[in-house]
Amino acid sequence: MRATWSRSQTTKPLFKASRKTIVITGFMAVGKSVVGQRLARRLKRSFVDLDAAIEQREGMKVHEIFSSKGEPYFRTIEKEMLREALGGADKIIATGGGAIMDEDNLRLLRETSLLISLTARPETLLARAAAGGSQRPLLQGDNKLEKIKRLLRQRETAYGQAHLSIDTEARSVDEVVENILQAIEQSDG
């Protein structure tokens, strides 16, 4: 399966996508950070992992922020940090999985950047999250697979607003990066 442009983009191609900031979104454990880092190296751009930037600013891990200050506090900081990250020169930004659930964030990302959504099956996301070993605040407790499915349903419309969607299922990081580069080349052509 190749990368696919969202329906809204088939009628209005991106203008010089290669010159825009590229934002990678998608569910937790889909590969946003690793794909973003590799893409940044290939395009010789700086890379911003939004969750890592928040952790640095707050002096604690995302799961600690969620548990000590709550999700609303985290989302407020996330919104501020996203706007900061979008300033300056073109770069590659990996957002947290819920960042585009905020309508203002989604609108800003669609207007100012090439927004790419990475996807995978819920079972794959669960396996990747477990293999990663990090604590996922929204997956605490039992029935993790059902929680992933529920969150994906809630986020489906927002993820569907991305300019480009790439299924990472059975694809290497390099293959995903190549799909992105090909899509950028096609949009600039």
pLDDT in tens, 18-45: 568 999 999 989 999 999 999 999 999 9
Sign of CA dihedral 19, 82, 151, 170: positive
Name the domain count of the chain: 1
d(CA 119, CA 3): 11
Predicted pLDDT of residue 6: 45
Q: What is the CATH number of the domain that holds 158?
A: 3.40.50.300
Q: What's the chain's Rg over C-alpha atoms?
A: 16
Sign of CA dihedral 69, 74, 75, 76: positive
Structural domain harbouring 148: 4-188
Summarised one tens digit per residue, pLDDT across range 99-119 is: 999 999 999 999 999 999 999
What 102-107 contacts at long range (C-beta under 8 Å, 24+ apart), as own/partner pairs, is 102/75, 102/78, 104/79, 105/78, 105/79, 106/158, 106/161
Question: Does position 12 have pLDDT exceeding 70, yes or no?
Answer: no
pTM: 0.86
